[in-house]
Amino acid sequence: GLGLAIVKDLLQLMEGSIEVQSIQGQGSTFIVRLTLKSSVGPDNLSEENKTAGQGKEINQLLRNARILLVDDIEMNRDVAKWVLEAHGCQVVEAASGEAALEILEQTKVDLILMDLHMPGMNGIDTTRAIRENPKYQNISIIGLSATDFEDEIEEWAKVGVQGHLTKPLDPRHLVEYLRQHNSHLHHLEYPQTK
């Protein structure tokens, strides 16, 4: 089901694999294969290890991040939540723009993933309302949408959407986006490693 699909995506992010052996009436065996790399010091990092180090840095940022995930479709929230929680962040869910605004009144968040095309109060109106409140000026808002037309993205930017991810969300793209645009999390403090 959906759980296995998510596990497979997570394993692919970790350059691993999963196999299933099933016998009707007896049950199933799941075999997970992962190659785990040892840590090395920062002075002798190879290019491959530098990339792994960047991944470790984003994992440290995410471990301290509370992310507000706003999407009216539960399955979309489930996939994003699994991926983000696997990288150590805390996810607060909202199924509507109105619910997102209520959560912001009660909970401090560091990043918002905002579905831009929701029924009722859509993501554009919700972003506009968030940006009108001085308390929320430092929160990055990343838009989620099935479309990526340039003129739409420009309009979203005008109301305060600072980035965009295309739906359906691909777990690898979500993590890679956060790696490449980690300035959205720059204001977070995280433990430094030596």
pLDDT in tens, 18-52: 888 888 888 888 888 877 664 444 444 344 444 44
Q: Is 178 exposed, middle or buried (0-12, 13-18, 19+ CB in 10 A)?
A: buried
Given a contact cutoff of 8 angstroms between Cβ atoms, the answer to whether 145 and 53 are in contact is: no
Per-residue pLDDT, averaged over 140-161, amounts to: 87
Share of the chain above pLDDT 90, in %: 33
Decide if pLDDT at 193 tops 60. Answer: no
Whether residue 9 contacts residue 2, with contact meaning beta carbons closer than 8 Å, is answered with no
- Predicted confidence (pLDDT) per residue in 108-132, tens digit: 998 999 999 999 999 999 999 999 9
pLDDT of residue 61: 62
Residue 78: CB partners within 8 Å, gap ≥ 6?
A: 2, 6
pLDDT at 3 over 80: no
Query: Taking residues 144-167, what's their average pLDDT?
Result: 87
Is pLDDT above 90 for 95? yes
Average pLDDT for 83-89: 84
Q: Is the pLDDT of residue 55 over 70?
A: no
Residue 146 is predicted with a pLDDT of 86
Cβ atoms 52, 37 nearer than 8 A: yes
pLDDT given at position 45: 39
**Cα distance between residue 18 and residue 50, in whole Å:** 26
Reported as a single tens digit per residue, the pLDDT across 159-176 is: 999 888 988 888 878 888
The average confidence (pLDDT) of the chain is 79
Identify the residue with better confidence: 58 or 127: 127
> Average pLDDT in the 75-95 region?
89
